[in-house]
Structure 1
Amino acid sequence: MSDLPARLSVVTLGARDLPRLRRFYNDLGWREMPAGGDDWAGFLLGGVLLALYSVDELAAEAATAAPPPAQWSGITLACNVDSARHVDAAFAAAVAAGATAVADPVDRPWGGRSAYIADPEGNRWEIAWAPGARFDDRGALTGFGG
């Protein structure tokens, strides 16, 4: 047994314009934590906290310098939905809220359907339906595949 538990609790996005990024996630209809503000914001997503924090403050804690703007980190976040048709609806809703369309919804060779968007600061989100993905009542992923 490890002293480091196998769990993901918080994903923090370093924001260059935190008020703008906060508005985007609110415009998606995601419920913000009560303690949120323009210096920190959090959204509880099915058991994982999506946190928004100043990129400069985050760099002071976790790196030697903030990354340069407009570079994709190679990391994607994903929101899995309940059916293939929900991919298209969620993609349209994200674009309507201000996301940039990166890749339109398509059926994937692995048997699912997905699309990609970027939030106002370029963070990439995959909107996906995967056969065999299972969720609890909170929307937390409880199983994946077979």
Structure 2
Amino acid sequence: MTDVPARLTVVTLGARDMGALRTFYRSLGWPELPGGADTWAGFLLGGVLLALFPLDELAAEAGAGGPPGAWSGVTLACNVDSREQVDSAFAAAVAAGATPVADPVDRPWGGRSGYVADPEGNRWEIAWAGTARFDERGALLAFG
């Protein structure tokens, strides 16, 4: 296995109006994960988590400075198997040409993550969450 597993585990949308966005996705019939609130909400969709997070908080966490329009408000995540693996995967991504935008830190929600930008500026979160469970292919089975 490489230091950065070939996984897309989470797509996070920066929400301008969390209540309206949560209502929309629930109206589609998508079951919201337990613990959803106007501070964070998630929907497990066929092995990938769709997460909703307030846009201003996501921008602060993902290091979204730069010229206006340089960041879309969307992040992708690659969840790794251990807290320690966050740092090695982060370093491997940077060595491969990613730009570090937010160094790995322990997060208030109990996990650890850092952010890099690919050559087009897309934000990838390299993360570990103790509640994430994967199948043998690396597909996300549970989150929370």
Distance 1:8 1:142, change over 3 A: closer
| 1:45-56 equivalent positions in 2, closer than 5 A | none
Q: Which runs of 5+ in 1 are unaligned?
A: 10-46, 49-68
Quote the Cα distance in structure 2 between the aligned partners of 1:8 and 1:142: 10
Quote the Cα distance in structure 1 between the aligned partners of 2:69 and 2:97: 17
Quote the Cα distance in structure 2 between the aligned partners of 1:132 and 1:112: 9
TM-score calculated relative to the size of structure 1? 0.53
The residue aligned with 2:125 is 126
Q: Deviations for 1:94-119, whole angstroms, at most 9, x for unmatched residues? A: 00000000001100010000000000
The higher-RCO structure (CA 8 Å, 6+ apart) is 2
The reply on whether 1:103 has 2:122 as its aligned counterpart is no
The residue aligned with 1:116 is 115
Q: How many residues align?
A: 85
TM-score calculated relative to the size of structure 2? 0.54
Q: Which amino acid aligns with 1:140?
A: A
Query: Alignment partner of 1:128: what SS?
Result: strand
| Root-mean-square deviation over aligned CA pairs | 2.2
Quote the Cα distance in structure 2 between the aligned partners of 1:122 and 1:90: 18
Q: Which runs of 5+ in 2 are unaligned?
A: 1-27, 31-43, 49-67
Shift of residue 71, structure 1, vs aligned partner: 1.2
Whose Rg is larger?
A: 1
Q: Deviations for 1:12-53, whole angstroms, at most 9, x for unmatched residues? A: xxxxxxxxxxxxxxxxxxxxxxxxxxxxxxxxxxx67xxxxx
